[in-house]
A = this chain, B = another copy of it.
Amino acid sequence: MSLRYALIALLTGRPMTGYDISKSFSRSVAHVWHAPDSQIYPELNRMERDGLLASVEVPWGKRATKKEYHVTDAGLADFRAWMESPLVPQRPRDPAYLKAAYFEFADPAAVREQLREQQEYWEEHLAMLERTRATLVDRSHPTLAARIAELTERDAELAVRFKIYAYDGLIARARTELAWIEDGLALVEELHGS
């Protein structure tokens, strides 16, 4: 259900085509809610059918057109209602922790290997989050820049600060994962020697 709201959230910034959305996604909302094209296009259609979005055909090249979606009043109302509805805690479901709890079943070398891969992934992910955060702070992030262009300085301040806040959470989480992975490497060293 959250995909809907991720899409509305993105479209409140500016009207976009499905293609724009699938591209912006990877650079903004996807950091909190990933979705592939094959899920985005059908969902946009359903949302239009449900009256949350409306679209206008805009020309593309000489003969072709593309559909530009914008959020309707009903869509915005729905989004606000969701924003204010209580948040149901997510069920834990994380293969990394499941594996870690049973590392004694794996070869120590394989464990080390996996931990290093995880470390590499989280380091890159963290770097990406920090780069993105910087573009929020200086307001150069394209999706954010388009969003705040229409807003008063007061409203822009709110929009920017909350986005930075979300990234701060993601960054803290990435650092926590990295610290845990390092502890894992130390633990394997202690238990199985070098």
Contact = CB atoms under 8 A, between A and B. Distances in A.
Contacts of A34: 91-93
Interface stretch (A15-23, A45-53, A54-62, A154-162): A154-162
Interface string A153-191: 001011101110110111011011101100110010001
B98 A84 contact: no
9 contacts: A12-B102, A87-B95, A100-B165, A100-B169, A101-B162, A101-B163, A165-B187, A168-B180, A176-B176
A104 B187 contact: no
Interface size, A (range): 35 or more
Contact of A105 (B29, B79, B102, B177): B79
Interface of A: 2, 5-6, 9, 12, 29-34, 79-80, 83-84, 86-107, 110, 114, 117-118, 121, 125, 155, 157-159, 161-163, 165-166, 168-170, 172-173, 175-177, 179-180, 183-184, 187, 191
A169 B94 CA distance: 11
A24 B102 CA distance: 16
